[in-house]
A and B are shown apart, each in its own frame.
Chain A
């Protein structure tokens, strides 16, 4: 049961019920849809760039508590970051989520995003936590193609 409180931490529950930056950006620099065909989670991530800096970032869509809170916390973490900083954070987050629960991962750079370390005990939920991130990754790489986590 303590595993459950690791997965559904207070911060995660808060962001899933009241997602931040949950809106459409009217004329974004990039707009990409992410979809998990297994569970039907679907989000659109909007990014406005100023040079190589993320000036504004928002998302909308439907999915589980893990995917929605992850998207919400991602937008908070990335606003004002450069592409290089965003990429670094993406890799750090991805490394955390895909590591084994017993591994001691340094989460100093992740800030609030470290709250998702409990997902490691639920490997089938890793794709929920990373869906928005994969979508953003595609958006800033400029592929503009819908992302599927399958």
Chain B
């Protein structure tokens, strides 16, 4: 059990959610005449004032290109950009700042590893291990590699509760497994995977592991050295930061040995028509002008999260999950999809035979935002023989009162469509 998701802990001091909500301007609005109840946090989180203001200040006073000019503004922009990298390094406890590669998001981070590490290492007859829980972004890039190389994609099954079959996982690993790519926390069900044990099992066979931590990074402490994970991908916008910025962490030795991803400015050492040599880490993987404001905004988001504390966030969100699960379980005809003992604050559900789109439309008119659909996990939906679910995904700014509003909303759904 990773200390980071140790749900037995409680916050040392009372969690002042009312004060925290003051930091998020978007939460204080009415939608369709009712106060907004935002429960679509697994899709994207709202942004605190600190992030919005920091990005505006960058554009107002520091805007310039990075790693380019000798002029003062360029130096300011470069300093702010690289300070963002160091904030990420601290947030995930990476050994080196240059192990942090900025991308557009989790999807691009995984595609980068598949296109560089994957294509340079995978040969015909090899295999790549993923799980049934994966988001499409951790399936399709590996299918590209497997199709191109004549390799096999091996899929770890899950139980009816949505728990990954660890025995099956260890059986799928063999001497031809070139990488394990696994979700840290399932976006559709909330299942927290036993990533420590999975990484250990892979490493015993010398197999590197990529973690899709998009749903883990916003909700609990993430320590890449303690996990000993080889690659770790996550997105800024799900952790209070801006859209369009994401992170790929990779161990230095692996990143050094990988070919570049995209060609262009910043990623080169010198260019001539006969021979181009590549820049050192992290710039080798950051071709072109990066999302400077995004990195600065992500840095502000990390600073904000750290003032609250990831342990306090994990403990409070676990209380919300427990309360929501208890209240929703009382509703006649509700079916939870995903009931793993170890879960992040995500509840995926169906109400009788009512289609999730109808549920979502009624809740929306009551100001309640939930996600409805297959959550970009069609193979997982097939596994549970459903086309779609409704999903409430909580963040640390949600309240018990909002869960009560969700429960009242579901009774309204039943009244109209039941």
Docked-complex contact A3 and B381, CB < 8 angstroms: no
Docked-complex contact A39 and B361, CB < 8 angstroms: no
Residue B416 lies at the interface, judged by CB distance under 8 Å to chain A? yes
- A94, B124: Cα distance in complex, Å: 50
B312 to chain A, nearest CB (A): 36
Docked-complex contact B355 and A64, CB < 8 angstroms: yes
Contact count A vs B, C-beta below 8 Å? 51
- A122, B357: Cα distance in complex, Å: 11
| A55-87 interface bits toward B, Cβ cutoff 8 Å, 1 = contact, 0 = none | 000000011111000000000000000000000
Interface residues of A in 6-50 (CB under 8 A from B): 7-8, 13, 16, 38-42
Q: Assuming A13-B417, A64-B357, is B32 touching A3 (CB within 8 A)? A: yes
Docked-complex contact A63 and B355, CB < 8 angstroms: yes
Residue B109 lies at the interface, judged by CB distance under 8 Å to chain A? no
B63 to chain A, nearest CB (A): 36
Docked-complex contact B381 and A66, CB < 8 angstroms: no
- A29, B368: Cα distance in complex, Å: 45
- A42, B374: Cα distance in complex, Å: 14
B13 to chain A, nearest CB (A): 40
B416 to chain A, nearest CB (A): 5
Docked-complex contact A39 and B416, CB < 8 angstroms: no
Q: In the complex, what residue of chain A is closest to B364 when comparing beta carbons?
A: A122
Docked-complex contact B416 and A128, CB < 8 angstroms: no
Residue B53 lies at the interface, judged by CB distance under 8 Å to chain A? no
Q: Assuming A63-B355, A65-B358, A128-B357, is B387 touching A4 (CB within 8 A)? A: no
Residue A125 lies at the interface, judged by CB distance under 8 Å to chain B? yes
Residue B365 lies at the interface, judged by CB distance under 8 Å to chain A? yes
Q: Assuming A41-B387, A65-B417, is B357 touching A1 (CB within 8 A)? A: no
Q: Which of A3, A62, A66 contacts B358 (CB 8 A)?
A: A66
Kindly name the residue among B33, B373, B387 whose own CB sees the greatest number of chain A CB atoms within 10 A.
B387
Docked-complex contact B361 and A40, CB < 8 angstroms: no
Q: Assuming A3-B32, A4-B365, A4-B416, is B387 touching A39 (CB within 8 A)? A: yes
Docked-complex contact B361 and A62, CB < 8 angstroms: no
Docked-complex contact B357 and A39, CB < 8 angstroms: yes
Interface residues of B in 362-376 (CB under 8 A from A): 362, 365-366, 372-374
Residue B185 lies at the interface, judged by CB distance under 8 Å to chain A? no
The number of chain B residues with a CB under 8 A from chain A is: 19
- A128, B354: Cα distance in complex, Å: 14
Cβ–Cβ < 8 Å partners of A64 in chain B: 355-358
Interface residues of B in 323-377 (CB under 8 A from A): 354-358, 361-362, 365-366, 372-374
- A122, B417: Cα distance in complex, Å: 17
- A70, B365: Cα distance in complex, Å: 21
Q: Which of B361, B366, B417 contacts A125 (CB 8 A)?
A: B361
Q: Which of B33, B361, B373, B387 contacts A7 (CB 8 A)?
A: B361
Docked-complex contact B358 and A40, CB < 8 angstroms: no
Docked-complex contact B355 and A38, CB < 8 angstroms: no
- A74, B90: Cα distance in complex, Å: 60
B272 to chain A, nearest CB (A): 46
Cβ–Cβ < 8 Å partners of B381 in chain A: 40
Cβ–Cβ < 8 Å partners of B416 in chain A: 4, 8, 13
Interface residues of B in 383-418 (CB under 8 A from A): 387-388, 416-417
- A106, B390: Cα distance in complex, Å: 36
Q: In the complex, what residue of chain B is closest to A2 when comparing beta carbons?
A: B365
Q: In the complex, what residue of chain B is closest to A42 when comparing beta carbons?
A: B387
| B255-270 interface bits toward A, Cβ cutoff 8 Å, 1 = contact, 0 = none | 0000000000000000
Cβ–Cβ < 8 Å partners of A1 in chain B: 33, 365-366
A44 to chain B, nearest CB (A): 15
Cβ–Cβ < 8 Å partners of A65 in chain B: 354-355, 358, 417
Q: In the complex, what residue of chain B is closest to A65 when comparing beta carbons?
A: B358
Docked-complex contact B417 and A40, CB < 8 angstroms: no
- A13, B362: Cα distance in complex, Å: 14
Kindly name the residue among B33, B365, B372 whose own CB sees the greatest number of chain A CB atoms within 10 A.
B365
Q: Which of B32, B33, B366, B387 contacts A40 (CB 8 A)?
A: B387
Tell me the B residues contacting A by CB distance below 8 Å. Answer: 32-33, 354-358, 361-362, 365-366, 372-374, 381, 387-388, 416-417
List, sorted by A's number, 6 A–B pairs whose CB atoms are closer than 8 Å. Answer: A8-B358, A13-B416, A16-B417, A39-B355, A65-B354, A66-B357
7 cross-chain pairs, A with B, having the tightest CB-CB distances, nearest first: A40-B387, A64-B355, A64-B357, A65-B358, A40-B388, A4-B365, A64-B358
